[in-house]
Chains A and B, each alone.
Chain A
Amino acid sequence: MKSQFQINENLLDRIISVAYGDSNFLDKIRINLLASRNNEVKRLLSEYIVTARAIRSLEQDECPVDILENVKNKTLKENNLFSPVIKFLYALLYKPVLTAAAVLILISGMLLFILFNKTNDNQYSEAQIKLAEKQVKQTLVLVNKIFYRTANKVEYDILKEQVAKPVHEGISTINDLFKGG
């Protein structure tokens, strides 16, 4: 049966796509399964994989400097493209270390500005301070009450009724079962 197996155009396209790595996941699985069962598919797939790998390893050639110099002479110099400001902006965009340094300097500057310019302009009267203290105390009492009630609720209602009681019942049932056994 295997010798009658024919690779049609559609299957070949899929094999090639898998080899070049631009097929979908399902095709990858299908073709790999097929390759494991059929030698012709396996051979084709491995051949294309080798070529795809070799193509990926081809590197781009660098554009010669003299071309860039010519272009620069014809366009850039008259427009002052390589002015210090442009050079700096360009470096900021394309050199991560410089960008990081610039950001660091900016953040440090902002922090220093905030720290050294922080002045305490707020002046409060004696009465205002006393009122604030009183309000803080009241707030703390309220919070304390809430905590106390919550603790009671957890200890007596939740733990005792909702947790301890069912556990106790469960243990009793197990005991009864053991006794019965």
Chain B
Amino acid sequence: MLKMLSNLKYKLLLKQFKNRVYNYSIYMLKNRMDADDVTQEVLIKLWKNLDSFNMNAASSYVMKMTHNLCIDYLRRRNISLKRELEIDNIFEETYTNVNDLNNPELMISRENLNQRLKEAIENLPVNLKSIFVMYQLQGMKYKEISKALDLPLNSVKVYLMRARIKLQKELKLLKDEIPIPN
């Protein structure tokens, strides 16, 4: 019975976190293959630590694990934070809307905007990016982020604000090139 419950618990965790872990890893590592590895590693680690797992703090725990692994990967593989970004195609399919297929102009501008946004987010410094992705894209709360990254609550807020300002500056550079669709 206990085994059955822990199996169920794991399946629920998988359902809840698989996409979050994967997306976070993509943004942090800027590389799909590395993100695949990190995601797999996190999910296996989750299984191994299931008995000592606190479901109430699941979000912080899983994201902390993911973040630490991403940092390890960044160090291990010596990925320079300033290197030119490889633009992978994984996001392009996600943002394709059937209704927009008849409007190539809109499609191009949307794709460009998404691409631009993605690049701008990926270009943020690691400490700002991790908070920005957790808060803006994964819907985590300040407290959860603070726990996940071992940072004081105020620092989380300050870094988030800095990330937003920096992102805005990055996007502004390209503002006049492509119109932003409403």
Contacts and interface: CB of A to CB of B under 8 A. Distances in A.
B23 interface: yes
A60 interface: yes
Contact of A75 (B36, B39, B44, B114): B44
Interface string B139-182: 00000000000000000000001001101100110000000100
A48 B169 CA distance: 10
Contact of B117 (A54, A60, A61, A74): A54
Interface string A39-76: 00000000110110011001111111001101100111
B175 to A, nearest CB: 8
A71 B22 contact: no
B114 A58 contact: yes
A85 B4 contact: yes
B4 A55 contact: no
Given A20-B164, A59-B95, A61-B90, A80 B7 contact: yes
Nearest to A89: B8
A16 B20 contact: no
How big is chain A's contact interface, by range?
Answer: 35 or more
B113 interface: yes
Given A16-B161, A51-B171, A60 B20 contact: yes
B7 A86 contact: yes
Interface residues of B, number: 42
Contacts of B136: 20, 55
A60 B8 contact: no
A61 B26 contact: yes
A20 B138 CA distance: 15
A177 B171 CA distance: 81
Contact of B22 (A51, A67, A81): A67
Nearest to A50: B180
A47 B47 CA distance: 44
A97 B119 CA distance: 40
A124 interface: no
Nearest to B39: A67
B174 to A, nearest CB: 12
Interface string B88-106: 0011001100000000000
B168 A48 contact: yes
Contacts of B3: 79
Contacts of A70: 40
Contacts of B26: 61
Interface of B: 3-4, 7-8, 10-12, 14-15, 18-23, 26, 36, 39-40, 43-44, 47-48, 90-91, 94-95, 113-114, 117-118, 136-138, 161, 164-165, 167-168, 171-172, 180
25 contacts: A12-B165, A17-B161, A20-B136, A48-B164, A51-B167, A51-B171, A54-B114, A55-B137, A60-B20, A60-B138, A61-B94, A63-B21, A63-B22, A64-B22, A67-B18, A71-B44, A75-B44, A79-B3, A79-B7, A80-B7, A83-B4, A86-B7, A86-B11, A90-B8, A90-B12
Which 4 pairs, one residue from A and one from B, show the smallest C-beta to C-beta distance?
A63-B18, A63-B22, A75-B47, A81-B7
